[in-house]
Amino acid sequence: MSVRRITWRVAVLTVAATTAFTLSPVFLSNASTLATPPNSTSLFSVSRILKLDTDGSGPSIVATGTDSMFVVGTFDRSKGAVDDLIRIDLKTWRIAAAARFPNVTSVAFGDGALWWATGQNAFDIPAPDNGRVLLKIDPGNLHRESTYILPGRTVLVTVAGSSLWVATPTMLIRLDPQSGRVLVKVPVDFSPTEMSSSEQGRSLDVLGAIGSKEFVTTYDATSGRRLVQRLLPGATGQPLTTTAQGVWVAVDNLNNKTATARYYEGDRLVPSAARGGYPFDTSLYPGVGVIWLVDSAGQGSTECLAQSTGHVRASGGPLGVWGSVATYAGRTYVLFERDLTDYFLRVQPSKSCS
């Protein structure tokens, strides 16, 4: 998952200091109503709450796996120490590990590890090794296992099936996850901005730009062979949201300052559905049978959409957090900010949103 919106973190290559610590879960009570998103009953009910931090930690869910959620942000520990990555154990409902790593461009889980790309500069501070570092992280304790230096800046990383892929500004690279050896190189004539697995890991969807034009391009996840490319009617910096039948993407209209959620279906990425009139910063996330639409700036409503048609099943209040919705093992999890305090929630979707 791309996390380009948090590239403000300091780009210092240090040994990760990992500390296990706990925060008490908040169970539903009158006191927990402040941690419940307003006007959300049409979308979901909140079943469990974990308070993360105050003063705007800027969290974002970046990966799921091993009964865990991996969240990046700025998380204060004791005596002013700061962590950039935490692991939330979904069984114990505790923050089980935390660590600090160099500035992050993209994070992915797969092949038994957490992968951390560092290739985008933060406030003109050079990333380590000119951003060519890809870190392999133990998903349990968040210790660094390996550091791979690649031919170019590691701007994106994802795992498609059993294939580990990294995007640089000029190529897509498939790596051996055990050794870091380059297995496949695919030169590209566009600048990759988002990348995700599709078709149950058989394909790789890449969002990229050539000048003012943006495309979604699908590749075979094993060989890297290009399968199809689709021109988008506008610009976007939002994540790609894949389903079993296609891919959703939010496209901005720079003339009227609105965004449109668009669905491209099948192995030819045929335009299939569209819903417009949303604010900039609209993001889409895959759910259990639905697509979640969130205004990351916290101004517009949150909606659940039918996966294939984009029909609005229910609409509720704003969440206001980037990387705010994730699903794992059939359950839905939400990040929510209120009064400069961030909460991690397990929610039960309403009948309309399930």
Is the pLDDT assigned to residue 1 strictly greater than 80? no
Handedness of CA 296, 120, 326, 217 (dihedral sign): positive
Distance between CA atoms of residues 349 and 228, nearest Å? 35
pLDDT of 81? 58
Per mean pLDDT, which range of 8-17, 71-80, 137-146, 253-262 is the poorest? 8-17
Percent of the chain with pLDDT over 90: 62
The three-class DSSP label of residue 30 is helix
Instruction: Report the alpha-carbon distance of residue 167 to residue 157 in Å, rounded.
Output: 6
Q: Are 318 and 295 in contact (CB under 8 A)?
A: yes
Q: Whose structure tokens read 């009953």?
A: 41
pLDDT value at position 344? Answer: 94
The amino acid at 42: S
Task: Give pLDDT, residue 122.
Answer: 56
pLDDT at 238: 74
Buried b (16+ CB within 10 A) or exposed e, 292-310: bbbbbebebbbbbbebeeb
- Strand, helix or coil for residue 232: coil
pLDDT, tens only, 338-347? 877 889 999 9
Alpha-carbon gap, residue 84 to 96, rounded angstroms: 14
Query: Alpha-carbon distance 149 to 46, whole Å?
Result: 43
Residues facing 210 on adjacent strands: 213
Quick: pLDDT tens for 168-218: 999 999 999 999 999 999 999 999 999 999 878 899 999 999 988 999 999
Q: Which two tokens stand for residue 39?
A: 């006007």
pLDDT value at position 78? 52
pLDDT in tens, 120-136: 765 556 677 889 999 99
Structure tokens at 110: 């797969």
Condensed to tens digits (0 to 9), the pLDDT of residues 22-63 reads 444 444 444 456 678 889 999 999 999 999 875 556 789 999
Q: Where are the domains of the chain?
A: 17-100+324-354
Q: What is the mean pLDDT of the chain?
A: 85
Beta strands in 140-179 (DSSP E): 144-149, 156-160, 163-167, 171-175
Its sign, for the CA torsion 145, 135, 74, 96, is negative
Number of neighbouring beta carbons within 10 Å of residue 291 = 23
Phi, psi of 40 (to 5 degrees): -105, 0
Q: Which residue has the higher pLDDT, 323 or 155?
A: 155
* Helix, strand or coil, per DSSP, at residue 259: strand
Question: How sure is the predictor about 292, in pLDDT bands with cuts at 50, 70 and 90?
Answer: very high
β-pair type (82-89, 270-279): unpaired
Percentage helix, strand, coil for the chain under 3-state DSSP, each rounded to 5 = 5, 55, 40
- The pLDDT tens digits of the residues spanning 308-320 come to 999 999 999 988 7
Beta bridge partners of 13: none
Cα 238 from Cα 251, distance rounded (Å)? 8
pLDDT at 234: 86
Least confident of 176-190, 282-296, 319-333: 319-333
List the alpha helices (DSSP H) in 51-162.
none
Q: Which residues pair with 292 in a beta bridge?
A: 285, 304
* pTM, 2 dp: 0.89
CB count within 10 Å of CB 314 equals 20
Q: How far apart are CA 159 and CA 154, in angstroms?
A: 14
Give the model's pLDDT for residue 77.
55
Report, in angstroms and rounded to the nearest whole number, the Rg of the chain calculated over CA atoms.
19
pLDDT in tens, 79-121: 455 678 999 999 999 999 999 888 788 999 999 999 999 987 6
User: Is 268's pLDDT higher than 90?
Assistant: yes
Give the three-class secondary structure for 155. coil
